[in-house]
Amino acid sequence: MKHRKKIGLVSAAVLVGTLAGFTQPSHAVARLGQHAAKHASANTTPLTIVPGPNGDFQNDFNPFSPAMNYGTIGLIYQPLFYFDNISGKTYPLMGMSYSWTNANKMLIVHLRNAKWSNGTAFTSSDVVFTFDLLKKYPAADANGVWSQLSSVQARGPHEVVFQFKQANVPFASYVLEQFIVPQRVWAKLGDPTKVGAMQPMGTGPYILSSFNAQDYKFYSNLQYWGGPPVVRNLDFPAYSGNQSADLALATGQIAWAGIFIPSIQSIYASKNPHNKYWFPPSNVVMLYTNLQDPLLSQLPVRQAMSLAINRNQLYLQGEYGYEPPASPTGLVLPNNKAWVDHALPKQDLAFSYNPAKAIQILEKAGFKKNAQGIFSKNGKPLSFTLQVVSGWTDWDTDASLIANQLGKIGIKVNVQEEQFGAYFSNINSAKKNYQLAISWTNTGPSPYFLYQNMLNSKGSFNVEQLRNATVDHALQMFSQTSSLAVQHQAINTLEKYMAEQLPSIPLVFGATWNEYNDTNYTGWPTASNPYVNPAPFTPISVGIVLTHLKPVN
């Protein structure tokens, strides 16, 4: 299975058109040349990074483009803050601090005293300009920040005031994670979604050094507010497939990657004691149930299905031992361990595999096996189609295992493998065209984001089509307060609902693919030091990892 991008956070609009007439100022070109000369003579080892095997590159470093090259956001362009979904930490980037006032409807951000890579000052004018750009060109507003904001104003050179239409505290992460672009450059370019190839200029720790379809390079930014990274040179070579990338990883040609590797211990880790990996959970893989289906809308059916699924088998066979069984609460663990409601009964905190109990639940609910051995009631058999993406081998295997497991208790499941476009349209279009489907969850720095996206009546990934007043009230209660105690109260309600009502059925935790070689650099995120999302394909966190690394010698 390919690594899945989080939908909603840090995305961008479609890139079309070309840039006409833009060149960097001559003094900036001179600085870049001096910088390149210094780094060319530096006695440091480049770090080779392959976030994923994606074939030839396009010259696209436009942060508003969904096809932007890796590193565009995080290495070149930075947001005000980063809210990490693995550690739960908040990293101040172009912002130093923020505070709420006016009943949580006004957000005040104090900015960092920093410079763009050409040496010019970063100010509140750049922040206001960026948000005004999103308002003027709605296609660029990928996270819909202007659906919640009423105004963005500068209060001096290093303070910005965001006025919200109504209190929505967690939505601030979408606002504060918006990358910022320099006004002096982008004011000349018009619609940012129609800007083509250009020399990018940001506030991030790196500067683009060279580009071709097979390879692009960065060197560290001498103007960076945190000081130039000690990893001075980065190399991003192109790989067309996993097989060649896996070989390059095992032999040390790639230092950092985010690639799915089956049997990683024998294929990669055993080849070199410096070959390391850490696959922390970043989301929950769900068996989504279409609650508009008259059979799946019945709780006993969902309860029986959950009890009949052997999640340990999914974990060890379908997921190669990388993705352990999920929590009934829907929490991503251990990431969200501080949010666990320990007052919940034992059965709400861990799944059990109990096919016999599953059969008892169905029989008690009035289901009887027909001549084919399938449970049915009122002439309607428990027979469903399960959709997955063709070629996502671990999920395809999971689907086959689930079909077999449910078949043993009298629930028939037909696995239907679809191309991604058709699959995603079936589960996420206005008219849901599916019964069962395996898919991801959209997460964030707290459990609110998974619940909001999946369970809210108007959630952006409410695949199951849940409509529940208790759930909506809890989510609203969370969104309107900055009190941690009140937020915990709301999350406790959602945990209990998720575990006991099973609006959809958690299967396993979704792993974050991350392999690294520590021969030349140390300081990588690990299970014992999980300071940030470790994947090189995760925007923003990639820059945080690189600025934490130190040379071995």
Nearest to 101 by CA among 169, 40, 34, 198: 169
Positive/negative CA dihedral, 308, 312, 313, 318: positive
Q: Which residue has the tokens 């104090």?
A: 110
User: What is the per-residue pLDDT for 91?
Assistant: 98
User: What is the per-residue pLDDT for 54?
Assistant: 84
Nearest to 167 by CA among 97, 103, 101, 98: 103
Nearest to 81 by CA among 174, 195, 17: 174
pLDDT (tens, 9 = 90+) of the chain, 553 residues, equals: 444 433 333 332 222 222 222 223 323 333 333 444 444 433 378 999 999 888 899 999 999 999 999 999 999 999 999 999 999 999 999 999 999 999 999 999 999 999 999 999 999 999 999 999 999 999 999 999 999 999 999 999 999 999 999 999 999 999 999 999 999 999 999 999 999 888 999 999 999 999 999 999 999 999 999 999 999 999 999 998 888 888 999 999 999 999 989 889 999 999 999 999 999 999 999 999 999 999 999 999 999 999 999 999 999 999 999 999 999 999 999 999 999 999 999 999 999 999 999 999 999 999 999 999 999 999 999 999 999 999 898 999 999 999 999 999 999 999 999 999 999 999 998 889 999 999 999 999 999 999 999 999 999 999 999 999 999 999 999 999 999 999 999 999 999 999 999 999 999 999 999 999 999 999 999 999 999 999 999 999 999 999 999 999 7
3-state secondary structure of 201: coil
3-state secondary structure of 8: coil
The rounded distance, in Å, linking the Cα atoms of 523 and 545 is 8
User: What is the per-residue pLDDT for 196?
Assistant: 87
Structural domains in the chain plus CATH codes: 80-127+139-179 (3.90.76.10), 206-280+512-551 (3.40.190.10), 282-511 (3.10.105.10)
**What's the angle, vertex CA 416, arms to CA 410 and CA 422, rounded to 5?**
145
**What's the angle, vertex CA 30, arms to CA 29 and CA 32, rounded to 5?**
65
User: What is the per-residue pLDDT for 352?
Assistant: 96
User: What is the per-residue pLDDT for 7?
Assistant: 32
Phi first, then psi: give them for residue 109, nearest 5 degrees: -115, 130
Enter the tokens of residue 194. 């129609």
Between the CA of residue 141 and those of 144, 177, 449, 480, what are the distances in Å?
Answer: 5, 12, 19, 23
As a dihedral over the C-alpha atoms of residue 328, residue 86, residue 319, residue 309, rounded to 10 degrees, the angle is: 0
User: What is the per-residue pLDDT for 553?
Assistant: 76
User: What is the per-residue pLDDT for 17?
Assistant: 25
Beta-bridge mates of residue 73: 77
The total of other beta-carbon atoms located within 10 Å of residue 3's CB is 18
Nearest to 410 by CA among 378, 367, 379: 367
Going by their DSSP bridges, the two strands 121-122 and 515-517 should be labelled as unpaired
Considering the entire predicted model, what is its pTM? Answer: 0.87
Number of helical H runs and strand E runs in the chain: 15, 25
Between the CA of residue 79 and those of 84, 242, 542, what are the distances in Å?
Answer: 13, 32, 13
What is the side-by-side strand order in the sheet with 380-381? 368-369, 375-377, 380-381
The rounded distance, in Å, linking the Cα atoms of 281 and 86 is 7
The rounded distance, in Å, linking the Cα atoms of 277 and 274 is 10
273 preceded by cis ω (within 30°)?
Answer: no
The total of other beta-carbon atoms located within 10 Å of residue 74's CB is 28
User: What is the per-residue pLDDT for 461?
Assistant: 96
What distance lies between CA 128 and its chain's CA centroid? Answer: 26
Looking at residue 317, the DSSP 8-state letter turns out to be I
User: What is the per-residue pLDDT for 241?
Assistant: 82
| Residues whose CB falls within 8 Å of the CB of residue 268, separated by 6 or more in sequence, listed in order | 246, 249, 250, 261, 275, 277, 515
Nearest to 225 by CA among 122, 91, 89, 128: 122
